[in-house]
């Protein structure tokens, strides 16, 4: 992060060596460091907006222009081939690992994105994919499932339960019925009410209408969601719904039980 300072010192040392004497080394003021936090579950668009907002704050504090920008971030996150995920170009959604990253006023958006992709690669290496492979799921399938878990779950202890629901429904050929995917496809805000006409939409992210997984991940999941997506709980649940006035969900394998609780909760 202090490449400019290091280069200046190296040049000074070289000049001193060439002259055969001890030339004074100029004092170089190190560039001020800043941080940007990308929460788990942020989309690429949200990360780009966060980059812009944090860049403005950094400019105000440093009194200098900052290279980080929303436009630069979007340009740096265009589709590309992802090592280990096939030979086709993929959307970067899902691969932009959420974390806290350091930057300074010379850091480009491309540099930040590369840091995120490298962190994703390191975290992904830790995941045992053998169980998912035994269910004929690809790494990209697991990443999609992780993004849905991240978008749906408010209590981390339920990550593997939601993963189990998704696995069980896929196995039975059921639609997933996850509204977070449709919100993503329609570019609605998280938690925004979906209208009846939107529920009937032909949007490819409408997992109420189309069986299987959505076309791409719907956000950028953290390590816990990825781990759960690769290792679901060993339960037979097929349904879940949010418990009113709680962050938790009710899980069941029975459709009738699901309907009963839906009426009880006032849905």
End position of a domain, from candidates 101, 125, 149: 125
Q: Is the pLDDT of residue 50 over 60?
A: yes
Q: 184 with 211, same domain?
A: yes
Q: 190 with 102, same domain?
A: no
Q: What is the pLDDT of residues 70-95, one digit of tens each?
A: 999 999 999 999 999 999 999 999 99
Rounded CA-CA distance 161/156 in Å is 10
In a domain, 15, yes or no: no
Specify the range with the lowest mean pLDDT, choosing from 11-20, 74-83, 224-233.
Answer: 11-20
Q: 111 with 141, same domain?
A: no
End position of a domain, from candidates 106, 125, 144: 125
How many angstroms from the chain centroid is the CA of residue 207? 20
190 band by pLDDT with thresholds 50, 70 and 90: confident
Q: 151 with 112, same domain?
A: no
Q: What is the pLDDT of residues 54-74, one digit of tens each?
A: 999 999 998 999 999 999 999
Contacts of 84 by beta carbon, 8 Å cutoff, 6+ apart: 124, 139
The residue segments making up the domain with residue 141 are 130-264
How many domains are contained in the chain?
2
In a domain, 26, yes or no: no
Beta strands in the chain (DSSP E): 34-37, 80-81, 89-90, 100-103, 239-242, 249-252
What does the chain come to in residues? Answer: 267
Q: 50 with 169, same domain?
A: no
In a domain, 13, yes or no: no
Q: 144 with 237, same domain?
A: yes
End position of a domain, from candidates 125, 158, 183: 125
In a domain, 140, yes or no: yes
């Amino acid at each position: 992060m202090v490449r400019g300072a290091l280069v200046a010192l190296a040049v000074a040392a070289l000049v001193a060596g060439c002259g055969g004497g001890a030339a004074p080394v100029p004092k170089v003021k190190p560039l001020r460091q800043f941080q940007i936090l990308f929460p788990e579950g942020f989309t690429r668009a949200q990360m780009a907006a966060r980059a812009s907002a944090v860049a403005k704050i950094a400019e105000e504090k440093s009194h200098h222009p900052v290279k980080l920008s929303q436009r630069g971030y979007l340009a740096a996150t265009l589709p590309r081939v992802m090592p280990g995920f096939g030979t086709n170009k993929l959307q970067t959604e899902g691969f932009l690992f959420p974390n806290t990253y350091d930057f300074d006023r010379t850091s480009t958006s491309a540099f930040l994105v590369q840091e995120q992709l490298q962190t994703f690669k390191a975290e992904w290496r830790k995941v045992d994919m053998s169980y998912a492979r035994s269910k004929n799921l690809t790494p990209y399938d697991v990443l999609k499932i992780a993004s849905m878990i991240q978008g749906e779950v408010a209590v981390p202890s339920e990550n593997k339960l939601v993963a189990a629901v998704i696995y069980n429904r896929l196995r039975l050929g059921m639609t997933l019925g996850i509204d977070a995917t449709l919100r993503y496809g329609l570019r609605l805000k998280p938690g925004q009410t979906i209208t009846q006409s939107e529920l009937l939409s032909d949007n490819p992210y409408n997992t109420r209408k189309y069986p299987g997984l959505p076309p791409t991940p719907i956000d950028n999941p953290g390590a816990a969601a990825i781990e759960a997506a690769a290792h679901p709980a060993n339960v037979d649940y097929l349904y879940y719904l949010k418990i009113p006035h709680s962050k938790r969900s009710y899980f069941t394998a029975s459709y009738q039980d699901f309907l009963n609780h839906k009426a009880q909760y006032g849905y």
